[in-house]
A and B are shown apart, each in its own frame.
Chain A
Amino acid sequence: MIAAAIWFLAHNTLENMRVRGIQSGFGFLTQPAGFDIGESAFAFDSGDAYWKAFLVGLSNTLRAALVGIVLTTILGTLIGIGRLSRNVLVRGLCTGYVELFRNIPVLIQLLMWYFVLNEWLPPVADALHPLPGVFLSKSGMSFPVPEWEQGHVVSLAGFAMGIVVAWLYRRWARAAFEKTGVARPMVWPALLIAVLGGLLGWLAGGAPTALEMPVRNDLNVSGGGAVTPEFLAVTLGLTIYTASFVAEIVRSGIQSVPWGQTEAAGALGLSRAQALKLVLLPQALRVIIPPLTNQYLNLTKNSSLAVAVGYPDLVSISNTTLNQTGRAVECITILMAVYLTLSLVTAALMNWYNARSAIKER
């Protein structure tokens, strides 16, 4: 029955394509795209092939999603903890934030931020200048970036070596703990070693400090790093929306650890920090991590709404391609396959983590 249904649909599709003169196949991917893309992680012009345009779209999607995920984790955690504060003002403010932003569709929030950035910010000629080197205007945000020099390679190498040494230290400390029972701090020394490695590399590389500062001219702001208002609107909207969900996850995760655990840790003589690190956090994280990953996936999928504000993400590129070539089936298949791959990879990582951190029952 299922096979018959699939055959029926496939037959109809082929018939329709024949009637409407639609060509099929992925051959079009190597043809020149013929459209420009506003922002791109690498050089792209309208003569480049469609597959390259799709790559630009994917990189833009991932860029917005990654920045959004980092910001939303920070903001969401702060607000989630704030909802458990003793201070009635902090608690009320955080509760208000969650109730306000999670009940408004994310699309409207994106459109609203985009409109506010576009309409309310000054034109680029008199851009806002809140911090030295940072310009904010209708045309986006410019900020200083370090100038690329040989020394940066050395400091990166130093940092990498520091990480290796830190890992070795942790291994040694753990082995020593198993053998002698002397507990050594594991987190701070390891972090210190890694940072120190980077610092030594930076000094060895001649301590490059040059920053490329954006400069305001009469007509525009040039130099430095820059992001477009579209990118700002997308990351701002996604971050603020998703943070309200992350806050709820963090709050319920912390609340899921029974108060008796805190008391028991205190009765065993653990300090507050030790209790938090050894007893409370491991249990709370087990509850927090799976839904948190779900929110990261949601954020990535919601970044597809960027098409509504004209940010050239994967959806926007495939929409343009679809309109130009008429290959609906192929374009939507590529779109779905990419998102599906992202989701399945994340789900696989998640399952691996879950299997590792699940309560060991015998």
Chain B
Amino acid sequence: MDTALRPPVIARPAPTRHVGLLARLRKSLFSDWKNALATIVVVALLVRWVPEFYNWAVVRSVTQPDNDACRALDHAGACWGVIAEKYRLILFGRYPFDEQWRPLVATLLMVAMLVASCTRVLWSRWLVAAWIAVLAIFFVLMRGGVAGLTPVETARWGGVPLTMLLSTLSIAAGFPIAVLVALGRRSHLPAIRSMCIVYVELIRGVPLISVLFMASFMFPLFMPPGITVDVLVRVLVGITLFSAAYLAEVVRGGLQAIPKGQHEAAAAMGLSYWQTQRKIILPQALRMVVPSIMNSFISTFKDTSLVTIVSLYDLTGSLALALGGDANWRQFYLEGYLFIAAIYWGFCFAMSRYSQWVERRLNVANAH
């Protein structure tokens, strides 16, 4: 037979099993020479620097608030003692020392409220009421003057509570403004539309610091004679207007993604403009841009550090206050910066993780 002449196909060896940790690592780290080279370079870098950093930060460090021991180190090890010595000044700024339980309680309340707002089961109308109550308690605690608390003027507020206050309030106040401006940019009335465009483009075109300069130097000139506005309020207004412009562009992106049919269908149902926006358009548009909104929140939180430049003592400013004026500890600024950087990082990282979680949830909800 013809077919018999053809040699049978030799059976190939069974494929090697690429399971187990070792095989996976080999595939990922040494699959070819370029990959192996990258691995070797990275390992060499890690071997060179990680022990060095570990020795500096842990092994040779001084954790006691002992200035002489820290100076004796001569930067060979970290002086965490500076944190132990100054942490209350860094965390609470110039707030009267004996009253610092008040900003502590206020901050903890605020953090608890933020965590509660991120919890799905608690999303309801009560949350808004709870927020108003917490903000009121926050102000009463910080400001004092009632219930036997000594009054503390806003100029002495500082540290973490100030950072929390500035970011929370500017986000809370900026969001409604942003939604209105985003709707205004799509309005059919030319006056409103052009005003919104000018506002957004003007603010987005200049750095935040110039807006803050405006709030602290020019704002007093705008007010009627005899009326003075607290510098904290002025800066708050500046940050709010700034973040609202960025947020407005994010919201507008969501609005643009809504198909025209949704508007037409709502109109056919006899809904008015505001009913359409509130019940049909905004819920869909906002859901679409949740990740970008969270990003906006994160950058607003980071931006509050700039109020230092206009002499408010937020977390960044109170560090300068704590170390700048003290010749004994001034040379250990780096440890102080690392400390507050860790605080900022913790907040921002938590927010970005939360936004990823929300995004996944929304995607799951959309898929069904």
Partner of B344, one of A108, A119, A120, A307: A108
Please tell me if B207 contacts chain A, counting CB pairs below 8 Å: yes
Contact residues of B with A, CB < 8 Å?
25, 28-29, 31, 35, 38-39, 42-43, 75, 191, 195, 201-202, 204-210, 213-214, 217-218, 220-225, 298, 302-303, 305-306, 308-309, 316, 331, 333-334, 337-338, 340-341, 344-345, 348-349, 352
Q: Which residues of A contact B (CB under 8 A)?
A: 2, 9, 12-13, 15-17, 19, 85-90, 93, 99-100, 102-109, 111-112, 115-116, 119-120, 301-302, 304-305, 307-308, 315, 319, 322, 328-329, 332, 335-336, 339-340, 342-344
* Secondary structure call for the A interface: helix
The answer to whether A105 touches B305, judged by C-beta atoms less than 8 angstroms apart, is yes
Q: Given A85-B38, A108-B316, A315-B207, do A103 and B337 touch, yes or no (CB 8 Å)?
A: no
Which residues of the other chain, B, contact A307 by a CB distance below 8 angstroms? 209, 309
The residue in chain B whose Cβ has the minimal distance to the Cβ of A85 is B38
| CB-based contact B38/A107 at 8 Å | no
**Additional A-B contact list (16), CB under 8 Å, known A12-B223, A15-B225, A86-B28:** A12-B221, A16-B221, A86-B31, A87-B35, A88-B28, A103-B344, A104-B302, A105-B303, A106-B302, A108-B305, A115-B333, A301-B206, A328-B218, A329-B221, A336-B205, A340-B202
Contact in complex: B210, A304 (CB < 8 Å): yes
**Given the complex, which residues of A lie within 8 Å of B38, measured CB to CB?**
85, 87, 89-90
Verify B206–A336 contact, CB threshold 8 A.
yes
Interface contact A340-B206, CB-CB below 8 Å: yes
Interface of B is mostly: helix
Nearest Cβ on chain B to A312's Cβ, whole angstroms: 15
| Selected A-B contacts with CB under 8 Å, 17 pairs | A9-B222, A86-B31, A87-B28, A102-B348, A103-B352, A105-B305, A106-B302, A108-B337, A111-B316, A112-B337, A112-B338, A301-B207, A304-B209, A305-B306, A322-B213, A332-B218, A340-B206
Whether A87 touches B39, Cβ cut-off 8 Å, given contacts A301-B206, A308-B308, is yes
On whether the beta carbons of B42 and A108 are closer than 8 Å, the reply is: no
The answer to whether B42 and A90 touch across the interface, beta carbons within 8 angstroms, is yes
**Cross-chain contact A343 with B204 (CB below 8 angstroms):** yes
Which of A88, A322, A336 contacts B29, CB < 8 Å? A88
The reply to whether B309 and A308 contact each other, CB–CB distance below 8 Å, is yes
B302 contacts A115, CB within 8 Å? no
Also in contact, A12 and B222, with CB within 8 A (given A105-B302, A112-B341, A339-B205)? yes
CB distance from A22 to the nearest CB of B (A): 8
Residue of A nearest to B192 (CB): A2
**Do B222 and A13 have beta carbons less than 8 Å apart?**
yes
Do A107 and B306 touch across chains, with their CB atoms under 8 A apart?
Answer: yes
Chain B positions within 8 Å of A343 at CB level: 204-206
Q: Known: A16-B225, A85-B38. Is A319-B220 also a contact (CB below 8 A)? A: no
B22 shortest CB reach to chain A, Å: 14
- Give the chain A neighbours of B205 by CB distance below 8 A: 336, 339-340, 342-344
Chain A residues positioned under 8 Å from B202 (CB to CB):
336, 340
Other-chain contact of B207, A2, A15, A103, A339 (Cβ < 8 Å): A339
Q: Which residues of B contact A116 (CB under 8 A)?
A: 334
CB nearest neighbor in B for A2: B195
Check if A335 sits within 8 Å of B334, measured CB to CB. Answer: no
Complex contact B306–A339 (CB within 8 A): no
Contact status A89-B206, CB under 8 Å? no
